[in-house]
């Protein structure tokens, strides 16, 4: 079971709600994915005066745990204000914290991220920070009170998969007990399977599903890949070898070349 | 079902006016009631970009939108002399070229142009763009001019249009409710989706067809709206799709995004003059598909979302067929009140 801030989930997929052709298609994709957590961007679908009521109603009808995010915020201050609006609107302390450094790469602005995380944690939020794979930043976020870390796979929406596997493995090794979720940059279910095989606790997706030729079928594909990757991790994956290893017994074969030298 | 009937139409936006025009021309007795005292002040129609681009819309809409939309273009062509049938173009900045590939995969009927072919159509896009998708049978119009034309034609066809009243007269055989978001009181699943746009003018820019600039975050639609009184060309730059229900002024952020995108399309927009900034709210059902909901003598035509100008004529044609023959389109008509 995935456990985030004391709540348990049987699905290890978190699904974003942006970019679908219609709210109805979004609903079908969420149902097909089995995701129990959906992220919602607060910035444009404005919280102020509940002007997005029609859309909020549809999100609430999904019956999933809502994880509001601070997408598009460029400073700690902006992200904190957005988080406070989200808490009021959705009645949740959960916040996916994004502070963006650069509109082109959408990479996390890690200094502002740590600053905002500390302040929001002190203010009673449960912060799920979208961060880079950098270990030193992860340590600062953990020190600031974050009980979950969400490193990127590659830039948001790029569908490139894992750009820095080594660093992600390092992060896993350094934080064996902290829930780690890869957030952003995945394109294909194989990417998600890879994340899960590395022992990560979950995967957060949006574009890969929303912009797929058929989002509903793609949601199902990701759900299976995530489950498959997790099972593989739990089962223990055999170590790769350079030579073939016969999987059938070789008893009865009197001689074989043991060093390939003769 | 035969007729002719006495039909009251609620709402005088593009949906209501097309219903009135189509039904009046087919011999029915029509009265249109519109709550606003002045034409089009409460409607979202004047905020449209009015691209008639059913093929391009399929990038993010169901095939039925394309099928109905192609008929919509035919009906506009037959009714409206100022329609521009010049096709539409889709371009992407070099580094976002994969978006163009995706767009091509998600739509049909577009042809891929090389730089030479593109230069023949829109020379000002060269050399910033060296390829494009071209949808030759799409069209566009100026929504404000078209709305006034429609209102005039509706009256010429013998229909009565009353402003400043929401009351339908007694004795109508059918009421056709085209109030858009105004019908939220009776259609609880209807929601508003905000769209923002900027109108500019420039004597130095001469695009002849509507152009989409693909971008992962700031897509842009440009629609040429013809010359203004100074002889400069007007262009609509739009339109965002934001899940909120207020009209209200355009935000600074949307303005920056739209204008930056326009600048990418053609730096000559740097010298263009801004004529207006505004936002409208379009009515949409959860699947973003249009519906005709029939409940004995009361008929809703709603949920045209971002396809109001494209679909209004064909929605009217379908209502007329339904009233005269009982024939319905399976993907558009809903007879059960419970499903709306």
Q: What is the pLDDT of residue A10?
A: 94
Residue A21 annotated as part of some ligand binding site: no
Average pLDDT over residues B17-45: 94
Together in a domain, B266 and B161: no
Together in a domain, B220 and B262: yes
Q: What is the pLDDT of residue B339?
A: 45
Together in a domain, B176 and B126: no
CATH number, domain of B172, equals 3.50.50.60
Q: What is the pLDDT of residue A231?
A: 96
Torsion-angle region of residue B235: left (phi > 0), alpha (psi -120 to 50) or beta?
beta
Residue A257 has pLDDT above 80, yes or no: no
**Structural domains counted in chain B:** 2
Q: What is the pLDDT of residue A34?
A: 95
Together in a domain, B93 and B213: yes
Together in a domain, B160 and B39: yes
Predicted confidence (pLDDT) per residue in A189-240, tens digit: 999 999 999 999 999 999 999 999 899 999 999 999 999 999 999 999 988 8
Q: What is the pLDDT of residue B109?
A: 94
Together in a domain, B94 and B12: no
Q: What is the pTM of this model?
A: 0.83
User: Which residues of chain B are within 8 Å of residue A58 when distances are taken between CB atoms?
Assistant: 191, 286
CATH class of A2-235: alpha beta
Q: What is the pLDDT of residue A262?
A: 45
User: Which residues of chain A are within 8 Å of residue B287 when distances are taken between CB atoms?
Assistant: 22-25
Shortest distance, CA B61 to any CA of chain A (angstroms): 6
A257 is catalytic: no
Together in a domain, B131 and B198: yes
Residue B146 has pLDDT above 80, yes or no: yes
Give me the domain span that covers residue B106: 88-136+192-284
Q: What is the pLDDT of residue A203?
A: 97
Q: What is the share, in percent, of chain B residues with pLDDT greater than 90?
A: 72
Q: Give this complex's ipTM.
A: 0.74
Residue in A8, A96, A169, A211 annotated catalytic: A96
Q: What is the pLDDT of residue B340?
A: 43
Together in a domain, B279 and B290: no
Across the A:B interface, residue pairs with CB atoms under 8 Å apart total 52
Average pLDDT over residues B237-241: 82
Q: What is the pLDDT of residue A51?
A: 53
Residue B44 has pLDDT above 70, yes or no: yes
> Is residue B62 assigned to a domain?
no
Q: What is the pLDDT of residue A43?
A: 62
Predicted confidence (pLDDT) per residue in A151-200, tens digit: 999 888 888 889 999 999 999 999 999 999 999 899 999 999 999 999 99
A31–chain B Cβ distance below 8 A for any pair: no
The three-state (H, E, C) secondary structure of chain B, written as one string: CCCCCEEEEECCCHHHHHHHHHHHHCCCEEEEEECCCCCCCCCCHHHCCCEECHHHHCCCCCHHHHHHHHHHHHHHHHHCCCCECCCEEEECCHHHHHHHHHHHHHCCCCEEECHHHHHHHCHHHCCCCCCEEEECCCEECCHHHHHHHHHHHHHHCCCEEEECCCCCCCCCCEEEECCHHHHHHCCCCCEEEEEEEEEEEECCCCCCCEEEECCCCCCEEEEEEEECCCCCEEEEEECCCECCCCCCCCCHHHHHHHHHHHHHHCHHHHHCEEEEEEEEEEEECCCCCCEEEEECCEEEEECCHHHHHHHHHHHHHHHHHHHHHCCCCCCCEECCHHHC
Instruction: Identify whether A113 is preceded by a cis peptide bond (ω within 30 of 0).
Output: no
Domain ranges of chain A: 2-235
The mean of the pLDDT values for chain B is 92
Q: Supply B34's token pair.
A: 């519109």
Together in a domain, B126 and B243: yes
Shortest distance, CA B252 to any CA of chain A (angstroms): 12
Predicted confidence (pLDDT) per residue in A122-160, tens digit: 999 999 999 999 999 999 999 999 999 999 998 888 888
Together in a domain, B270 and B291: no
Together in a domain, B263 and B294: no
B216–chain A Cβ distance below 8 A for any pair: yes
The model's confidence at residue B73, banded by pLDDT at 50, 70 and 90, is very high
Residue A252 has pLDDT above 90, yes or no: no
Residues 6+ apart with CB under 8 A from A220: A32, A33
Together in a domain, B251 and B217: yes
């Amino acid at each position: 079971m995935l456990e985030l801030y004391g709540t348990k989930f049987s699905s290890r997929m978190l699904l974003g709600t942006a970019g679908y052709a219609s709210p109805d298609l979004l609903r079908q994709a969420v149902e097909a994915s089995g995701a129990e957590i959906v992220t919602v961007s607060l910035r444009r679908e404005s919280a102020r005066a509940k002007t997005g009521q029609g859309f909020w109603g549809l999100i609430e009808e999904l019956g999933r745990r809502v994880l509001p995010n601070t997408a598009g915020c460029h400073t700690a201050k902006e992200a904190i204000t957005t988080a406070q609006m989200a808490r009021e609107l959705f009645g949740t302390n959960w916040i996916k914290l994004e502070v963006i450094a650069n509109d082109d790469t959408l990479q996390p602005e890690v200094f502002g991220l740590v600053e905002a995380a500390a302040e929001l944690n002190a203010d009673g939020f449960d912060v799920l920070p979208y961060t880079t794979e950098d270990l030193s930043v992860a340590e600062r976020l953990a020190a600031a009170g974050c009980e979950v870390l969400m490193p990127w796979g590659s830039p948001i929406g790029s569908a490139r998969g894992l750009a820095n596997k080594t660093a992600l493995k390092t992060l896993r090794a350094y934080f064996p007990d902290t829930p780690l979720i890869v957030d952003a940059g995945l394109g294909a279910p194989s990417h998600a399977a890879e994340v899960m095989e590395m022992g990560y606790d979950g995967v957060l997706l949006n574009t890969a599903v929303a912009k797929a030729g058929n989002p509903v079928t793609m949601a199902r594909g990701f759900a299976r890949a995530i489950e498959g990757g997790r099972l593989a991790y739990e089962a223990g994956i055999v170590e790769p070898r350079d030579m073939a290893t016969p999987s059938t017994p070789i008893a009865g074969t009197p001689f074989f070349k043991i060093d390939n030298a003769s | 079902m035969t007729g002719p009937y006495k039909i009251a139409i609620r709402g005088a936006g593009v949906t209501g006016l097309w219903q009135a025009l189509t039904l009046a021309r087919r011999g029915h007795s029509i009265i249109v009631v519109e709550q606003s005292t002045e034409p089009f002040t409460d409607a979202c129609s004047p905020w449209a970009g009015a691209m008639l681009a059913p093929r391009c819309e399929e990038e993010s809409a169901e095939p039925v939108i394309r099928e109905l939309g192609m008929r919509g273009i035919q009906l506009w062509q037959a009714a409206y002399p100022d329609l521009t049938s010049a096709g539409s173009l889709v371009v992407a900045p070099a580094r976002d070229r994969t978006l163009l590939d995706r767009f091509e995969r998600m739509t049909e009927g577009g042809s891929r142009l090389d730089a030479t072919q593109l230069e023949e159509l829109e020379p000002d896009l060269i050399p910033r763009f060296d390829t494009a998708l071209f949808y030759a049978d799409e069209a566009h119009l100026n929504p404000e001019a078209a709305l006034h034309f429609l209102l005039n034609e509706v009256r010429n066809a013998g229909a009565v249009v009353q402003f400043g009243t929401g009351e339908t007269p007694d004795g109508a055989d059918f009421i056709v409710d085209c109030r858009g978001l105004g019908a939220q009181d009776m259609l609880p699943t209807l929601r508003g989706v905000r769209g923002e746009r900027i109108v500019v003018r420039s004597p130095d820019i001469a695009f002849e067809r509507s152009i989409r600039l693909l971008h992962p975050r700031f897509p842009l639609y440009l629609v040429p709206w013809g010359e203004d009184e100074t002889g400069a060309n007007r262009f609509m730059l739009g339109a965002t799709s934001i899940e909120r229900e207020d009209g209200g002024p355009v935000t600074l952020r949307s303005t920056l995004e739209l204008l930056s995108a326009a600048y990418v399309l053609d730096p000559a927009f740097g010298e263009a003059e801004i004529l207006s900034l505004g936002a409208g709210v379009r009515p949409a059902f959860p699947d973003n598909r249009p519906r005709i909901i029939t409940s004995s003598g009361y008929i809703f035509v709603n949920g045209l979302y971002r396809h109001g100008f494209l679909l209004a004529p064909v929605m009217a044609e379908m209502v007329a067929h339904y009233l005269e023959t009982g024939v319905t389109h399976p993907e558009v008509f809903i007879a059960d009140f419970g499903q709306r």
